[in-house]
Amino acid sequence: MKRKLIMFLLALSASAAIIACGGTKEANAAETVQTETEKAETKAAAEKESKTEKKEAADKKEEKTSEKEALKGSGHYDIYEYTGNGHTVTHEMLVQAGMGDTYLDLRDDGTGELCLFTTVLDITWKEGSIKVYGTTDYTYTLDGDTLILDMAGVQYTMKKSGDAAAAAAKPEDKDKKDTEETKAETEAEKKENKSAASSDVPGGDGIISEEAVQKGYVWMNKINKDIFNTTYEDLVAYFGVDGAFDKEEYVESMKQNRRYYSWISSEDPNHFIYVNFGEKDPEGAPGVYKITGFNSSGFKSSEAEEKYLSVLQAEASEAGKAEAANAKMNDTTLTLHPFGSSDKTIELKLQMPDSGWSTDETSGKWKLIENEDPGAFGAGFIKFEMAENIEKFDFYKDKFENYKEIDDREIGGIKMKGRTYKNIGYEWTEYIGTVSEGKAVSVGIVRVDISEGSMGDKILNSVSFN
């Protein structure tokens, strides 16, 4: 459960940067940043050079060498802690969640790697910033051996642990000279390989309107509660067009085949959403590719949210109410008890949808999860918890952010006090009340619509306590 919590927090915080940053929220493989390589001069060309040309070439070479030497801060940096949405996740917590391998390699030649939780991205860098996707810059500060990387407001604090790994050497063909003919053959081979790789995969031009790009990113990041179970076909249906296919590869570390697509603004080709898909179950569901990460480029996600989030939330709410009105409901009984003790219990009865929801119990606390997979990232939930008195639910109150008292609500015949706040990365709506002597209940809601007529409202109205 701790791993699920941390993974959800990371997805919420990092989505604006990479997911996988996206997201990060978790995010994920990106297009490899191409780096320039120097070509050796041939003996014949060297003989033709004038003394002046030789001097100029030597000066340039010396200048380039000086630039490389001037790059300070190269080395290998491992994650120490992560801060997003005002909450800090320590290295120990990341390790427990299986995500302690995040690192940054800054090589002397201005290239490097960023391993973001489980995704390795090629980067280029200069002092104070790194470039991902070949277009997106993120800044960092360096204080001794401590590096703090800022990715769209999410801070990664890293500690230097050694030298950066050497860049992968590119094989040289000693039997061929670097002639125009050879270069032409190489380019032809690249095109042939790309055509062969992409001949059996779907794809189009990925062109959609600027509004659709920004609105689509907000929908993926804030509205879709099951984004990582969304298939390529689902996303095509949402946007109305096939994505622009970039590449296909097998990711050895994930034991998974990946495909990469972009949906691009018709008004500005530098504004796009880059989406990674993985064949998550090649044996059980071969050929089914689901989203593993996504990222925005060229526009600010915060500005897109300001323009479109409230509109999309209203649309989702209306659609949810229409579904709730006709949904088949099943009777469900949950038994609550305080953490660490089962001497006192409360039997709670309610109705939940016949499909699309699941339950999860931990130490006497129950969650109704708005997804058939209880471990789904980003899924909303309603949590029921019991304590000996309502004061127990204020144990972490001093850590609550944006605390606000709201109207009371009657649940199960009990008048409960309402409040909203932010804690451990979640935006909570919570109702607390006393059922009987020595028995208090908390009903916490995260990312579930409880407005009148919604499914959340329908569930809460069905609650009874025995």
Last residue of a domain, one of 132, 162, 192: 162
Asked if 49 contacts 57 with a C-beta cutoff of 8 angstroms, the reply is yes
Task: Write down the pLDDT at residue 105.
Answer: 87
Q: How confident is the model at residue 10 (pLDDT cuts 50, 70, 90)?
A: low
Same-domain pairing of 350 and 267: no
Could you tell me the CATH number of the domain that includes residue 395? 2.60.120
Q: What is the pTM of this model?
A: 0.58
Number of other residues whose CB lies within 10 A of the CB of residue 121: 23
Q: Which pLDDT value is given to residue 171?
A: 36
Please report the pLDDT score of residue 138 as a whole number.
86
**What is the 8-class DSSP label of residue 173?**
-
Q: Pick the closest to residue 105 from 125, 87, 90 (CA basis).
A: 125
Contact predicate 363/340, CB 8 Å: yes
Last residue of a domain, one of 162, 191, 225: 162
Helix/strand number for the chain, H first, E second: 9, 24
Report, in this order, helix, strand and coil percent for the chain, each rounded to 5.
Answer: 30, 35, 35
Are 246 and 111 in a shared domain? no
Whether residue 157 is found in the same domain as residue 9: yes
Structural domain contains residue 7:
yes
Helices 210-218 and 301-326: crossing angle, nearest 10°?
70
Model pLDDT for residues 61-82, shown as the tens digit of each residue: 444 444 444 468 888 888 888 7
Nearest to 264 by CA among 344, 203, 181: 203
Q: Is 10 within 8 Å of 79 (Cβ atoms)?
A: no
- Which of 270, 304, 338 terminates a domain? The answer is 304
173: pLDDT strictly greater than 80: no
pLDDT number for residue 70: 46
Pairing of strands 244-251, 256-265: antiparallel
Q: How confident is the model at residue 111 (pLDDT cuts 50, 70, 90)?
A: confident
* Mean pLDDT value across residues 256-261: 94
Whether 417 is in a domain gets the answer yes
Sequence-ordered alpha helix ranges (H) in 207-300: 210-218, 232-239
Q: Element (H or E) spanning 240, and its range?
A: none
Assess whether 155 and 212 both reside in one domain: no
Average pLDDT over residues 397-413: 95
User: Which phi and psi angles does 374 have, rounded to 5°?
Assistant: -65, -15
- Range of the structural domain that residue 153 is part of: 2-34+65-162
Percentage with pLDDT > 90 across the chain: 47
Q: Do residue 215 and residue 291 come from a single domain? A: yes
Domain match, 223 and 364 both: no
| Whether residue 281 is found in the same domain as residue 341 | no
Considering the domain architecture, whether residues 214 and 299 belong to the same structural domain is answered as yes
| Cβ(111)–Cβ(102) below 8 Å | no
> What average pLDDT does range 190-216 have in this prediction?
78
- Give 47: exposed, middle or buried? Use CB within 10 Å, 0-12, 13-18, 19+: exposed
Counted domains in the chain: 3
Residue 216 shares a structural domain with residue 71: no
Ramachandran class of 187: left when φ > 0, alpha when ψ lies in -120 to 50, beta otherwise: alpha
Whether 310 is covered by a domain: the verdict is no
Q: Among residues 361, 355, 352, 389, which one has the least CA distance to residue 463?
A: 352
Identify residue 116 by its one-letter amino acid code.
L
* Residue 332, domain member (yes or no): yes
Does the structure show a pLDDT above 60 at 58?
A: no
The reply to whether 363 and 455 lie within a common domain is: yes
- Measured between alpha carbons, how far is 138 from 134 in angstroms, rounded to an integer? 11
| CATH number of residue 234's parent domain | 3.30.1450
Better pLDDT: 344 or 135? 344
CATH number at residue 24: 2.40.128
Determine the average pLDDT of the residues in 254-271.
94
> Does some domain include residue 170?
no
Interatomic CA distance for residues 305 and 222, integer angstroms: 9
DSSP state of 229: G
Residue 339 lies in a domain: yes
Q: Is residue 194 part of a domain?
A: no
Q: Indicate whether 76 and 133 sit together in one domain.
A: yes
What's the pLDDT score for residue 134? Answer: 60
Same domain, residue pair 23 and 94: yes
pLDDT at 235 over 80: yes
Flag whether 342 is in a domain: yes
